[in-house]
């Protein structure tokens, strides 16, 4: 059990609402409650665990608020410590007043994520489950929520623990054989180990392969709108958002910097970035905008290339096509409400994609665009099932490092090296997988992870 002082924080939003919840955790939780709470029935010291009690918060014999108090005794609590939750009226002033009273009577203000940090340090959950708590809070769609709930339930932990147990068996066998070669033979063990390692690598590769989908699930699809100046990029963004967010004029080069907004498309979350029009220019500021547009395109999950059908294709279009050749992209033939100079066939001659005819101004073809995006990212790839997705960059890094260590084991086997080398690299893989669960992490890294949590969680 990780021993700590007593902490308290407001666990609901600090704004006017129906109720607010103040959470206390630590060895002095019930002592503090006894000083400030007057129950209608019974005494605090006689309360049974996991019960709810009605009464008043009192300060200097003065009633502060009528509240419900939930008491939960260690170790069967979120933090594995004594926990008290006070449900008071939801005014920001009254909530803060009760918290100040709790702090005055012996608690200290909890750091961001400290309740969940204590759950981790006290062994109630591992680090991957702790991180899932914040992912649930930040979930932007149903798939992200389901994935985070799955992780909180321990599905990733189970896979990692099983994999580590298998690796540890190999390590234990090698060490035992090296200590007692007379009784434990390692003849042809390299072949056996090679087969085991192949299986471990396959399992890890499957997890790593889900990380791209996992990133999209948790963070959304980074969608960059590219095109020449005045092609209708900003009009398209406004149409997708359903509001006039980007400035639209007939003057080419109006957009000189990126503009980012988010929209929900069924269970997909699109982070849309409107960029400066790409063209050769002598304008210093516009040049910076064009350079930034190209940089955004490199890291995009999806590029929407907007072509002005009323203007002939030129060298700028060819430059944009080079940017999207190896990227997941959609080509839009915009301004089809006007007389068209560029046709679908013209586009297909220079890039192997079927353009979608739209008019961002008249809202024509937008439904087809949305359906195309859903088919591109949703068809089978992100259709949520019981599959595990790696959504955390830290987890992915550890998996990659573990995979590299296992590759070294195979190299040692192929080169007929001493069994000591097998054991060293197997142990490295074992430890890298352990980092996912929170084993042997530095205090600084743990603090950094929980610092990203919201207050009161």
- Express each pLDDT in 184-193 by its tens digit: 877 888 889 9
Using one digit for the tens of pLDDT, what is the confidence trace for 146-186?
777 888 888 899 999 999 999 999 999 898 888 887 788 77
Distances (CA, A) of 456 to 22, 32, 131, 295: 8, 18, 15, 38
Q: What is the average pLDDT value for the chain, to the nearest integer?
A: 86
Please give the structure tokens belonging to residue 291: 């350079």
Residues listed for the chain: 457
Query: Are 390 and 396 contacting, i.e. CB atoms less than 8 angstroms apart?
Result: yes
For residue 282, cis peptide bond before it (omega within 30 degrees of 0): no
pLDDT, position 256: 42
Q: If pLDDT is split at 50, 70 and 90, which confidence band does 233 have?
A: confident
Distances (CA, A) of 310 to 340, 347, 377, 433: 5, 13, 30, 56
pLDDT, position 264: 80
DSSP-derived 3-state class of residue 87: strand
Distances (CA, A) of 436 to 50, 139, 178, 433, 453: 32, 20, 30, 6, 18
The H or E element that residue 331 is part of is: strand 329-334
Q: Which neighbouring-strand residues pair with 83?
A: 25, 72
pTM as predicted:
0.71
The domains of the chain, with CATH numbers, are 7-124 (3.30.1360.120), 130-210+390-437 (1.20.120.430), 217-378 (3.40.50.300)
Which residues, including other chains, have CB under 8 Å from residue 398's CB and lie 6 or more apart?
432, 433, 435, 436
Q: Based on the number of CB atoms within 10 Å of its own CB, is 106 exposed (0-12), middle (13-18) or buried (19 or more)?
A: middle
DSSP-derived 3-state class of residue 8: strand
DSSP state of 423: H
Task: Give DSSP secondary structure letters for 243-284.
Answer: S--S---SSTT---S-EEEEEEETTEEEEEEE-PPP-----H
Distances (CA, A) of 312 to 211, 342, 344: 41, 6, 13
pLDDT, position 244: 60
Please give the structure tokens belonging to residue 255: 């957009």
Please give the structure tokens belonging to residue 256: 């000189």
Distance CA 149, CA 170 (A): 33
**In this structure, how many other beta carbons lie within 10 angstroms of the beta carbon of residue 334?**
28
Helical axes 189-209 vs 211-219, angle rounded to 10°:
30
pLDDT, position 250: 47
Distance CA 73, CA 57 (A): 20
Instruction: For strands 268-274 and 221-227, give the pairing.
Output: parallel
pLDDT higher for 323 or 20? 20
Distance CA 337, CA 449 (A): 51
Strongest mean pLDDT among 193-207, 234-248, 296-310, 364-378? 193-207
Using one digit for the tens of pLDDT, what is the confidence trace for 74-126?
999 999 999 999 999 988 899 999 999 999 999 999 999 999 999 999 999 99
Query: Are 132 and 451 contacting, i.e. CB atoms less than 8 angstroms apart?
Result: no
Q: Is the pLDDT of residue 382 over 60?
A: no
If you average pLDDT over residues 356-371, what whole number do you get?
Answer: 89
Using one digit for the tens of pLDDT, what is the confidence trace for 20-58?
999 999 999 999 999 999 999 999 999 999 999 999 999
């Amino acid at each position: 059990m990780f021993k700590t002082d007593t902490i308290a924080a407001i666990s609901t939003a600090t704004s006017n609402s129906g109720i607010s919840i103040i959470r206390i955790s630590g060895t002095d939780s019930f002592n503090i409650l006894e000083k400030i709470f007057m129950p209608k029935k019974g005494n605090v010291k006689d309360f049974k665990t996991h019960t709810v009690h009605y009464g008043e918060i009192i300060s200097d014999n003065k009633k502060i608020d009528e509240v419900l108090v939930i008491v939960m005794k260690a170790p069967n609590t979120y933090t594995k410590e004594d926990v008290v939750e006070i449900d008071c009226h939801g005014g920001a002033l009254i909530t803060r007043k009760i918290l100040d009273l709790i702090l005055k009577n012996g608690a200290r203000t909890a750091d961001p994520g400290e309740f969940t940090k204590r759950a981790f340090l006290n062994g109630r959950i591992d680090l991957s489950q702790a991180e899932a708590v914040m992912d649930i809070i930040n979930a932007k769609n149903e798939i992200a929520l389901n994935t985070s709930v799955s992780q909180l339930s321990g599905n990733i932990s189970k896979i990692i623990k099983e994999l580590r147990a298998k690796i540890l068996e190999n390590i234990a066998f090698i060490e035992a054989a090296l200590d007692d070669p007379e009784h434990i033979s390692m003849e042809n063990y390299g072949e056996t180990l090679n087969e085991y390692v192949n299986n471990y690598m396959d399992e890890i590769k499957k997890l790593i392969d889900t990380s791209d989908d996992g990133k999209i699930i948790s963070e959304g699809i980074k969608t960059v709108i590219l095109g020449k100046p005045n092609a209708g990029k900003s009009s398209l963004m406004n149409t997708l958002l359903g509001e006039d967010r980007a400035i639209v004029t007939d003057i080419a080069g109006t957009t000189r910097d990126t503009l980012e907004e988010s929209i929900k498309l069924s269970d997909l979350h699109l982070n849309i970035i409107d960029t400066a029009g790409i063209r050769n220019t002598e304008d210093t500021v516009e040049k910076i905008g064009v350079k930034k547009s190209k940089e955004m395109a490199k890291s995009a999950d999806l590029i929407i290339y907007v072509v002005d059908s009323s203007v002939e294709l030129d060298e700028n279009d060819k430059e944009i096509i080079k940017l999207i050749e190896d990227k997941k992209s959609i080509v839009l033939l915009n301004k089809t409400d006007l007389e068209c100079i560029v046709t679908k066939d013209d586009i297909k001659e220079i890039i192997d994609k079927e353009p979608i005819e739209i008019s961002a101004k008249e809202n024509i073809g937008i439904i087809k665009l949305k359906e195309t995006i859903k088919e591109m990212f949703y068809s089978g790839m992100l259709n949520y099932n019981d599959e595990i997705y790696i959504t955390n960059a830290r987890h992915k890094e550890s998996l990659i490092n573990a995979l590299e260590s296992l590759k070294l084991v195979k190299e040692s086997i192929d080169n007929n090296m001493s069994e000591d080398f097998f054991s060293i690299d197997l142990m490295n893989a074992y430890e890298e997988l352990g980092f996912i669960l929170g084993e042997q992490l530095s205090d600084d890294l743990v603090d950094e992870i929980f610092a990203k949590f919201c207050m009161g969680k």
